[in-house]
Every structure is written in C-alpha cells, then in structure tokens.
Structure 1
Amino acid sequence: MGCNAVLDNIDKSIGSQQEKDRVKAEALAVRAMYYFRLVNLYGEPYNHNPQSLSIPLKLTSDISAVPMVQATVAQVYDRMVSDLKEATSLMDPLPIARRDYHINQPAIHILLSRVYLFMEKWEESKAEADKVFDQGGMIMDMTGLTTGTWLNYNNPEVEWLFGGNTQPNQSTYIPAASFRATFDANDIRLKVGITVLSQTFVPLVTKLPTGSDLAQTIRTSEAVLNRAEANVQLGNLAAALKDLNNLRRNRIVGYTDVNIGDKAGLLQAVRDERRKEFCYEGFRWFDLRRYGMTGISHRYQQDAGGSVLQYKLAPNDPMYTLPFPNSLLLRNPALKQNPSGRMGDRIGQ
C-alpha cells in the first residue's frame, strides 16, 4: 500500500523532476520486490507452471470492498519486470547514491537479474548483472576478517541495507553438520558466520546482525552468482568459472582456482556457492522451488534428549506452494485456496 500510495501521488507532489523520478523508481522497485516474495510463497514456481493462479495484483492505493481475483504467476512476473525496467529508466540517468538506506541503481539491476533468473531468461539475467559492475559494483576481499558481520554498509558489496532480521533466533539456531561440512575449512563465511561454543561444542549462527540493526541486503555477490548461473545455462562455461573462482578467492584464505569442465558439475558448484553465500538470508526456499522441487526431509528435535521427528516433502509436493491463511479467504471470497491448504497436517515420523 505504501508503494502504491507513492506511485498514485508522486506526480502531484512538490520537488524537482529528478527528485520525483528517484522516489518513483524506488517505489516501483520495492513493490516489485514485495511481489517477488509473495508470488514465490503463494504461487507455483515460474519454471514449473507459469499459468497457475498466484496472488491478486493490487496496483493502486484505494480501498475497495470488491473481491480481488488472482493473477497468474506469469502476470505477476510480467508486472515485476515492467516495474523494474521502468525503475531503471528513471533512476539510471541520476547520480548513484550509496550507503544512504535507499535502494539504488545497482540494487535494482540485481533485483531484475534475479527475476530474469527465476524466469530462466539467461541472457537478460546476465545483462542486468553486467550493469551492476558497469555502475561501480565490486566484490569485497573478506579473507582478512576475523570477527563480526559483513551484512552492513561497511561492506562495499552492499548496495542496499534494509529490513529486519531473517533469523531472529539465530543465537539458538543450530546449522546442520552436513551443511557446515560443505564449507572449505578456510572459508571466512564459516569462521565469522557460524560459531562453535567451546563449552558445549554447539555451532550457532552468528552471521546476521542482532537487536534492532537492519539485517537484509542486496549486494554484488548476487550479481556474480546470477551471472555465473546464467552463463552456465548459456554454455559460457569459462566465464561462469571465472566468476565462481573470483568469488571464492575473496572468501577462502589461500584459495586455489578450480577447473570444472562439465556443465552439470559447474552448475552444481555455482548453486552450492549460492547456498553458502546467502544462507539464513531467505534465498534457499525459493531456490529449491526453481531447482525442481525435489524431495527433502528434515530431522527436528525440540529439546536435547527429546524425540526426533522426521518431516518430509515429496518431489513436487503441493506444500512447496504455501496455503493462504483462512483469514484472507474470509476477507476475499474470490481467492482460491492452494492445493496445500486442502491437505492434512504434516506429522513428523
């Protein structure tokens, strides 16, 4: 609603045309980001069923009692692309501002690259990632870090810092041993992101800021990994490998470049790097959906010594698309519940 209110009224506001263009671009980009999250929670993956129903598209700030019908996944993605392209056309001619808590030009191009990646429009995703570096984006050498978080404006990769913590209970969150084992022993992201308490030998997430600090970012490492994945899919393996090695070199102390010559192996390496780079930041669930919704299982134990439950999702499980809350169905009778909302409770075994 906030974005729509801005867009409905910005042209009637006071201020210079440049100021209006910047604010309008920000509102368009942030609205697109919100819709990206919503459509990937309540709609099927774009590459699986783009014509399936997802969420209503509300593009004005007026309040209406008329029930709103759902748009298709494809229609929501088309709107995101349209909004982000308009945002870049408004924002790109303006001076680039960094570290002022406003979304900027490189961050918008990263978002558009992300949307194209999910649409499997590889050329377009690569092109948007390239623009990030044309606009001064850079990769930080993290190998000298010994403590603290890197998800703030002290990190030159961070183009936009916003939002609350994605893992508010990180001080009690224990990462899986199998996941920790995927990190190189000299990977700084492991050393300053996951801490092992010496008195209990319990590994805890320490990657994210704590308290009321802003904790979510859009940063240039995503542009690198989006471009690498797109290049693999396009058959540009040398370019993809260059990006992969460059990112790892800035994350792993004493790193030696690898040579991965086959497409499947390189694609998996890029995806594994994406998981490590963005763990606990809200990327993984959306990626698992677009990777093909494979069967997954998780062991869960509420308390030490308590029973261990096994929760499973079958391949292409309807639960990969979340059900709408009943409160929304009551408010909007035009809303059609997702198949996952008609399933029984998942009881761990």
Structure 2
Amino acid sequence: MKKIFILISGLTLSLGAVSCDDFLDIEPEGIVIPKTQEDFRGLMTTAYSGYPRHKSLSALRTDELDINAEAFDFQIYREIFMWQDISQDNNTTAFPWQQFYNSIFYINHIITEGGVILPASVEKDQLTGEAHALRAYAFFDLVNLYALPYNATTSATDKAIPLALELDMEKVLHPETTQVVYDQIHRDIDQAKTLLQQSTQEKGLNYRFSKAALYAFEARVYLYQQQWENALRSTEQALGYKSALEDLNSSQNLPNLYTSSESILALEDTYHSQVKNASFASEELLNAFDAANDLRYPLYFEKSQGRFKVIKAGEQAQKVSIRTAELYLIQAEASLRLHRLSDAKPPLKQLIKNRYKTAVVPQIDSQIEAMDESALLEFITAERFREFALEGHRWFDLRRIHQKRIVHTIEGKEYILRENDPRYTLPYPQNARLNNPNL
C-alpha cells in the first residue's frame, strides 16, 4: 500500500454532536501526539467523520435510480451509472479506497497506542471497543465492494482486500482471501464485545458504536455469510437492546432519521446531495410500492419536473447505517433459509403493520400466510428493496441474493449489466493499483 502521510493536528467533528479541544502538545515539530482520553476520543471522531460516502455511488449502479443528464454533476457520475469501471475518464468520481484505509489508520492508532498510553477506565474500554467495531465495519464494506460475494466453498481462495492492522506505514500489504477478511471482521467484533460499555447511544451520539449496533452489525455479517443460525442469535441479542419500529400510521417521522426510534447507528450519508441532485427515483423502484397504501411512498418520494425525487435521504438528519427494521427482515430471511416458514412470517408482519395503512394490513397478512418458501423469499427481497431504498443496502443485496440483469438508459442509449456480470464486483481503483503492485 502507498505510504500514508497523515498529519494528526486538529480535529473537527462534522456530525455536530461533540466538540474536541486542540491537542495539547506538539512532539515532534509539526506532528501532534495524542496523549489523553480526550485526545484519543478526538482521533476516533476523525475516523468516524472521515468514513467514506461510498453508498451514494453504489446506488448509481443499482435499479434504484435514473441519472439526470441535465444535472451539473452528470459527467462525474455518468460512467458509474454505465458500469464503465475500466479506463474511466478523468472526470469520473472514483469509488473510495484510500479513504477507508485513512479511517483504519486512525483506528489502528487508537488500538495500538491508546492501549498503551491510556490508563484503564470504562471510557478507555468504550473507545477501544468502538475502534474495533468500526474497523470491522470498514473491512466489511471493503470486502463487499472489491471482492466476490462470500461463498463458503470458495472464500478460502477468493482474492479480496489487504488488511491493515498495524501502524507500520512502510509495510506493503498483500490482498488477503475473503475468508481471512471475514475471520478478521469477527475477531474485531468479538474484541469489541468485551470492551463496549454503552448498550445504546443517545441521539446525537448515535454515530458511535454501541452494544446494540455491534450485535446488529454482526447479524448482518452472518446474513451475508449465510450462517443463518448465527444471524438469528445476533439479531435476538440486538433486539434485546433496541426493538422499536416507527409506526407510520401515527407518525410522519422517517424511519431512517438519526432521531428516529429505530436508529441504532447513524453514521453514514447514504445518498449525499451531489448524487441526489443528479438523479431521480427509477421507475422500477417506484413501481415496487403500492402507492395508495404504502405509507412510505409519500415520505420517500416527491414529484419534481415530471419525475420523482428521493426525499428520504440526502440531509444531515437522515444519516443512517443500521436500524431496527433491518433486524426484523434478517429474522424473517434467516428463518426462511432454515426452512422455518412459520417463524419467518411474524417478524415480517410486525414490519408490515407499521408501514402500510391499517385497512390493508389484514389483507397483506393473509397473503403472507398463504405464501410458500419461494414466494415468501421473493416478498422479503422486495420488502428490503422498498424499506431500505437509498440506504446503501441494494447493491450488496443484489450481489448476494440475485445478480440480476439491469438496464440503464442515458440520452436514449441503453447500457446493460448482465445477470451474474463480473462488474458486480468493483476492480481495485487505478491509483491503488499503481501504488501497490500486489493488487
């Protein structure tokens, strides 16, 4: 990996919840050395606030969006929308790579140096637990962008990503296999379990990891690994900390708001304003909803210039990474994959009654009761499409469930992502390949 030059000089909290004082000492000249709990908390804040906004870009590759050819930023997103990943023009926005490893560098500093410098305390344990959790989260996103989807029969040989676990900035890293990466993700999760002190985080600080967020994330990891029993166990543990759903029959609150009763981890801007201004909701996404009875429809979309804009995301208050609705859908899918049809239906019905008009809920419940395994899996997949629109799930769901054929149109010309297309996995960015011949 390219040598990382990072000046640890001052910290700005972009999430608006906490402020951090400047570091106290400068040793040696020009480089600030964190020494106190407050210093290391500031470093952790930098790792959080610098976490990449890759989910906005991956949304352009899905069936959620149409691109606006008249938008100011059209040129920087056009080739992403076309799945043109090789020989991109210089205007095209690159998927993040170094940004991930920058956050990981800060995390490694907290784990390695903070572990030695800071005296034992509850605060130190919480901070170090968050560092392990966020590192696992970063490796999970990286391996699901730049490696094949997890497959138990091939994961031991599938080439994945480098694991940066040390502070040696001169070390040239080699890509590990997918299995090695997932093993490290679980090691970090397990370490975080022994350290995290906060069961949940209060609103405004819920960009930080808690026990609820950790177990919910672990459930997601197990879901992607198709370890259904483990996914169910982690889901139950997460729901023990937080289980509320927004009832859209009585509330107009978006369920993905950081202030929502559903919010577990509110770290990411999953549909940032530049992409939002350059895109519309696709017909496929809009048609997935029962516009007359699905209470999410008017909260998610707004008509603009004859098209529909996505309004559920793209604002500071709409930061979201994990929320309780995901846990109910993991419960439903994992139970179904274990052929426990009767166990798969209740969590799904719990979500339905909070998302559809009360008058139609009995009808939907009856339809769910009549479904066999195949029909119910299709319904769960469609419900994930609706529920998590523009929250960053769709590209990963398409990769792991069904790498379907997608057609995008730009100015009358069609571009096609074929079924099981190799482009469902991103190539390493060109700059990363130039800086590391091992990639």
Normalized against structure 1, the TM-score is what?
0.87
Gaps of 5+ in 1: 302-306, 336-349
1:270 aligned onto 2:407: no
Distance in 2 between the 1:160 and 1:178 partners? 28
Contact 2:200 2:211 in 1 (8 A): yes
Distance in 1 between the 2:199 and 2:382 partners? 35
Alignment RMSD: 1.9
Normalized against structure 2, the TM-score is what?
0.70
Partner letter of residue 403 of structure 2? M
In the superposition, relative to structure 1, how do residues 16 and 214 fare at CA in structure 2: closer, same or farther (>3 Å)? farther
Q: How big is the shift at 1:165? A: 4.2
Q: Report sequence identity in percent.
A: 29
Q: What do the CA deviations read for 1:74-115 (whole angstroms, capped 9, x no partner)?
A: 111111112112212322x65543322321111111110000
Q: How big is the shift at 1:152? A: 2.3
In the superposition, relative to structure 1, how do residues 171 and 194 fare at CA in structure 2: closer, same or farther (>3 Å)? farther
Structure 1 residue aligned with 2:234, among 123, 128, 150?
Answer: 128
Distance in 1 between the 2:239 and 2:287 partners? 32
Contact 2:403 2:419 in 1 (8 A): yes
Q: Pick 1 or 2: higher relative contact order, CA cutoff 8 A, min separation 6.
A: 2
Q: How big is the shift at 1:315? A: 2.6
Distance in 2 between the 1:196 and 1:131 partners? 40
The equivalent residue for 2:371 is 261
The equivalent residue for 2:294 is 187
The equivalent residue for 1:344 is none
Please show how residues 123-272 of structure 1 align to structure 2 within 5 Å. Answer: 123-146=229-252, 149-168=254-273, 169-184=275-290, 185-197=292-304, 200-210=305-315, 212-213=316-317, 215-254=319-358, 255-256=361-362, 257-258=365-366, 259-272=369-382
Q: What do the CA deviations read for 1:119-163 (whole angstroms, capped 9, x no partner)?
A: 0000000110011121233222122344x6442232111012113
Contact 1:162 1:214 in 2 (8 A): no
The equivalent residue for 1:98 is 202
Partner letter of residue 316 of structure 1? N
The equivalent residue for 1:298 is 407
Q: What do the CA deviations read for 1:300-348 (whole angstroms, capped 9, x no partner)?
A: 23xxxxx31211122322111111122111111111xxxxxxxxxxxxx
Q: What do the CA deviations read for 1:270-326 (whole angstroms, capped 9, x no partner)?
A: 1111111111111111111111423x122323xxxxx31211122322111111122
Gaps of 5+ in 2: 1-104
Distance in 2 between the 1:250 and 1:69 partners? 47
In the superposition, relative to structure 1, how do residues 260 and 26 fare at CA in structure 2: closer, same or farther (>3 Å)? farther
Distance in 2 between the 1:182 and 1:96 partners? 33
Contact 1:116 1:125 in 2 (8 A): yes
> In the comparison of the two structures, how many residue pairs are matched?
323
